[in-house]
Every structure is written in C-alpha cells, then in structure tokens.
Amino acid sequence: MKKKISIELAERVKHLPPYLFASIDAMKQNALRRGIDLIDLSIGDPDLPTPIPIVQSMKKAVENPHYHRYPSYEGMLSYREAVARWYKKRFRVSLDPATEVLSLIGSKEGIGHIPLAFVNPGDFVLVPSPGYPVYAIGTLFAGGKSYFMPLTIEQKFLPNLKRIPARVLERTKLLFINYPNNPTSAMAPVDFFADVIAFARRNDIIVCHDASYTEIYFGEKPLSFLQIPGARDVGIEFHSLSKTFNMTGWRIGFAVGNRDILKGLGKIKTNLDSGVFQAIQEAAITALSMGQKELTPIRKTYEERSRILFRGLTEMGLDAVKPKATFYMWVKVPPGFTSMNFVAHLLERAGVLVTPGNGFGDAGEGYVRFALTAPAERIREAVGRIRQVL
C-alpha cells in the first residue's frame, strides 16, 4: 500500500477564523435542506438586477476577440479615465488616470492584498471593530497584527484615535477606515477625515479608506476621503461597482489616490493575479458614464425597505440604528440573547436569517446586522415573523 503524505495547513491558515459569510451560507443551506421558507437578510448581495445598459455593453464587448486575451494588470486606460471622470463629477476630485487609478477584481481583492505590500511580520494594522473581516484577514496573511479600534454608538461609530497606545503606533503601517460603514451604516463628517489625515502624518501611517457604499444614501451625500485637503498625501480609497450598480458577481472595482501607495499595491497584483476581463471593463465604463436616472430608483428601493424594517423593529421594542446610507441596519439584540443565539433563534423560530454582530469583531457582540436585500413584501413578512417569536 502506498503511504499517504502528511498534509498540514500553514500556521497562517490554522489561525484563520472561519470566514463569516461562508459560515452564514452553511447555516442557510442547512435551513433550505430542511424545507424552511427562508427570508435571507444576511449577506450584502443586491437582489436587484444590473441596469440594462451595462448588460448590453457587456454583450457587445464579449464578442470582441481582442478582449479574449490577457488584460493589463493596472486596467485599460479607457477604464481608468472613466473612473477619473466619475470622481471629478461625483466628488470634484481630479485624478491622473495613468498613475492615480488602479483597477481591481472587486475592492475585496485590493483590500486583502495591500497589507502584503507594506506590512512586515510583527507590524500593526489599525482595524475597526466591528468591521469588514478582510481587513484583519489580509493583515494576518502578511504576518501583521491587527489592533482593533472599537466602534461604539457613543462615539457615533467612529474610532477614537487618541486611545491607541504609543507602543502600537510605533509599529503601525496601515489604518483601515470605512464610511459609509459596514456593518453599522454610520457616516463620517469632514472633521473626522481631517483628524485622520493629521494622525497619519504624525505617525507615518498609510490610510486605506473603503468607500464601497458612498452611492447608497438616503439624503446627504457621503464624502470621499480624497475630498479632504492632504488626503492624497497619506492614503488611497477603495471603491467597487458591486453595490452601486448591482454588479457583485462581475468582480470589478478600483483604488485611487496616492500614486506611490498604488504602485506598491500594483506590484502585488502583478505577481499574484491578473487584470479584469476587458469586456467587463467596457461594461464598467458604461456604468460609470450613467447619470442618476438608473441609480435614483435603486436608492429609493433601499430607502423604502429601510423604512419598513426600521418601523417594524422599533415598534416591537428592538433598538435599531436608523441608516442614512448603505443597505444595512445595525440592531441591538434583546436582553438575554447573545448575537449568535439571537441569529439562531430567528432562523429556527422565524425562518429569518441575519448576520451576528460579533462576526465583524468583538465590539459587534450584542448586535445583529440586517441586509436590505430582499423585496419589500418579504421584509414586511420577516417583520411579522419576528414579532411572533419575540
């Protein structure tokens, strides 16, 4: 009999927590196998279709054999020019498409890779808690240490940079921030971004702003970090077409800002992955060139869903944060529950799946996140089911 080899995971993988959304998907599949009529309000995957002009552009581009070959790593210049035009129109920020725009296979790819470019083993990365899990996972893969910054309702879900110890700041290379925020839906004011820039200058820290949700808002328009004077000297901004244009499966995004930081991220991309399929880039150019006619109905849809859910949850006594942006709602669990057993309670008793707050970091314990990614009628039904089991 042939001897089997010993297969042992690398230490970095052994210390990796289960990816939150993979765990949620396993719970979902188990419920569906048992025949539960599941209302899934867990993962931020838009249920609305990609706007028709984008799909039509893709159909045309995919037939071009020129696009069937390897794409450029940094992205087609025409795509980067479209990004620069969009930033100029939306945020009044001027970008050099040749050096200050980098295409990404979705913003997750860039967020996960940037620690590899700048973090040495033992260095710290400042990570919001609760926050998108990839900030900490990318840090772990680079051999860095995450220093978690609690986001609390008392602080309006903004990190308190003054509480970070000097011993941590001495070894800190990156700071992740994310506004509008996932999972809390908080917005950041100008003075916060100005404080971040001053903080980064004092401590030689690179700022990475995840701005994936700036186009889903219900009133005041969210800011770009790059609108604030001095931002380009200390950082970059990640953006994605996934949420804005209902293109999660298309996998296309970009990073913009400081050219030297982007150059470092580009070196990682060159060695570890390829560029975005050029037909998708053509479709993305169409997306970035669209006016508000296609986007306003998307925002109105999420706003209506938000009103239904917020009213329903608060009427039954749950403490929910009313969102001004994103398609999430951050909700305190009732007394006697933890985040995870409240999720299990809603799934087993009501057939409603939400995300446990502690899956976004320890500071998220005591909360759950609802995603507004189901039709209004199903959200009303979810509210009714939850009312019955509480």
Q: Is 7 left (phi over 0), alpha (psi -120 to 50) or beta?
A: beta
pLDDT of residue 193: 98
Q: Quick one: 227 and 361 in the same domain?
A: no
In a domain, 4, yes or no: no
CATH of residue 32's domain is 3.90.1150.10
Last residue of a domain, one of 244, 270, 289: 289
Percent of the chain at pLDDT > 70 equals 99
pLDDT of residue 32: 85
Residue 351 has pLDDT above 90, yes or no: yes
pLDDT of residue 292: 84
Last residue of a domain, one of 255, 289, 323: 289
87 and 224 Cβ atoms separated by less than 8 Å = yes
Structure-block tokens of residue 191? 């003075």
pLDDT of residue 249: 96
Mean pLDDT on 33-45: 92
Instruction: Report the C-alpha gap between 134 and 137 in whole angstroms.
Output: 5
Sheet with 235-240, strands from edge to edge, namely 101-104, 253-257, 235-240, 206-210, 172-178, 124-129, 145-150
In a domain, 66, yes or no: yes
pLDDT of residue 378: 98
In a domain, 16, yes or no: yes
The string of pLDDT tens digits covering residues 246-277 is 999 999 999 999 999 999 999 999 999 889 99
Q: Quick one: 96 and 238 in the same domain?
A: yes
The string of pLDDT tens digits covering residues 172-199 is 999 999 999 999 999 999 999 999 999 9
pLDDT of residue 1: 64
Instruction: Report the C-alpha gap between 127 and 141 in whole angstroms.
Output: 14
Q: Quick one: 80 and 216 in the same domain?
A: yes
Percent of the chain at pLDDT > 90 equals 88
Q: Quick one: 154 and 62 in the same domain?
A: yes
Residue 121 has pLDDT above 90, yes or no: yes
| 116 vs 30 pLDDT, higher one | 116
Q: Quick one: 34 and 142 in the same domain?
A: no
Residue 17's pLDDT band (boundaries 50, 70, 90)? confident
pLDDT of residue 383: 98
- How many CA atoms does the CB half-sphere of 298 hold within 13 Å? 25
Mean pLDDT on 103-125: 97
In a domain, 2, yes or no: no
Last residue of a domain, one of 267, 289, 311: 289
| Domain range for 186 | 52-289
The string of pLDDT tens digits covering residues 152-173 is 999 999 999 999 999 999 999 9
| 234 vs 4 pLDDT, higher one | 234
In a domain, 3, yes or no: no
Total tally of structural domains belonging to the chain: 2
106 and 277 Cβ atoms separated by less than 8 Å = no
pLDDT of residue 388: 96
Q: Quick one: 122 and 61 in the same domain?
A: yes
In a domain, 6, yes or no: no
Residue 19 has pLDDT above 90, yes or no: no
| 293 vs 330 pLDDT, higher one | 330
Q: Quick one: 150 and 264 in the same domain?
A: yes
Q: Quick one: 130 and 227 in the same domain?
A: yes
Mean pLDDT on 315-331: 97
Q: Quick one: 110 and 207 in the same domain?
A: yes
The string of pLDDT tens digits covering residues 58-96 is 999 999 999 999 998 899 999 999 999 999 999 999 999
Please tell me the pTM assigned to this model: 0.95
Q: Give the chain's mean pLDDT.
A: 95
131 and 150 Cβ atoms separated by less than 8 Å = no
pLDDT of residue 4: 84
Indicate the SS3 state at residue 63: coil
Residue 36 has pLDDT above 90, yes or no: no
CATH of residue 85's domain is 3.40.640.10
